[in-house]
A = this chain, B = another copy of it.
Amino acid sequence: MSRTFTLAQIAKWIDGVVRGDAATRIDGVAGIREAGPGQITWLSDDRYAADLRVSRAGAVVVPSGYGETPMPAVLVADPERAMVEVLGRFAPPVPRPEPGVHPTAILGEEVVLGREVRIGPHVVVGRGAAIGDRTVLHAGVFVGDQTVLGQDCEIWPQVVIRERCRLGDRVVVHPNTTIGSDGFGYVFAGGRHVKIPQIGTVEIESDVEIGANCSVDRGKFGATRIGAGTKIDNQVQVAHNVRIGPGCIVVAQCGIAGSARLGTGVVLGGKVGVRDHVVLHDGAQAAACACISKDVPAGSTVIGIPAVEHRQFLRDRTSLRRVPGLLEQLEALARRVDQLEAAADD
């Protein structure tokens, strides 16, 4: 946490140009309002220009061509992207188990371990499972029989990945998440709910990140699939045989019901529900709390319960707010008709 860099060094990391004192020493990153003299902050757009004027930050990263700033600046093409690099450089090292297998870990027969794996205390790896090179299993992780993890995965404490699942490379799974639990399927027969065996699996492609306390059920048969580069937040439920395409964003507490499909680059806001068998085509978006019960065309945005296209949602709200006015107009009109009738009666 106490490493210090000059602005010149920082500019070099992010291919930026220093304006002001390049020898300014920086020891951390903070938001515009919170940053103090030793910290660097950044500005993506003019929305926060007023905050910048009163900021106590020691330096700021701004878009190329940005005007005067009250403190030294680094100009770059894309400040948001640049900050990924800067944050990474200031990041304290992530604690991981020692290389190798902790003596309290329990490995089944015929487990295949890649090079430089790190397997922490109380981890359990089932028979015939494979752990790729440099993959990290933090304390208490459970990996079931014949499950295969790729290279450079990071599986945080207490994650459970049941048998016969497959994870690609660089997959990150946060604590207390469950992968490969039985799907929720029953047939009502003989007066009771009879369980449908859930004999499928889960396939997670490379560069997927799954948050904490999530659940990804195995397929009834075939696989539940999550496409490459998709990012899933905390407490998300992915039911059996769901197929999520590549590059999707699924915000916290979403629930995606059985056999639903998300195309490429779909974005679900927080707490969105997707009904079973529904399809969200490429680039579809859903606002937070939407409850989606029918297919969403490519590129369109839905909102509400039940979810409708954003335009329809606005029309509905306008309609609702017009009712009191309508009532008044109707009453005024009725009075005019009263008068006309009275006049006609005369």
Contact = CB atoms under 8 A, between A and B. Distances in A.
B330 A330 contact: yes
A213 interface: yes
Nearest to A338: B336
Contacts of A30: 221-222
A49 interface: no
Nearest to A253: B255
B195 A209 contact: yes
A127 interface: yes
A242 to B, nearest CB: 11
Interface residues of A, number: 115
Interface stretch (A56-64, A65-73, A111-119, A270-278): A270-278
A245 interface: no
Contacts of A29: 199, 221
**Interface secondary structure of A, over-half rule:** loop
Interface string A273-306: 1010000000000001101010000000000111
B84 A194 contact: yes
B87 A197 contact: yes
Interface of A: 28-31, 34, 78, 80-81, 83-84, 87-88, 90-92, 94-95, 102, 104, 106, 120-122, 124, 126-127, 138-140, 142, 144-145, 156-158, 160, 162-164, 172, 174-178, 181-182, 184, 186-187, 189, 191-197, 199, 207, 209, 211-215, 217, 220-222, 229, 231, 233-235, 237, 239, 247, 249, 251-253, 255, 257, 270-271, 273, 275, 288-289, 291, 293, 304-306, 315-316, 319-324, 326-327, 329-330, 333-334, 336-337, 340-341, 343-344
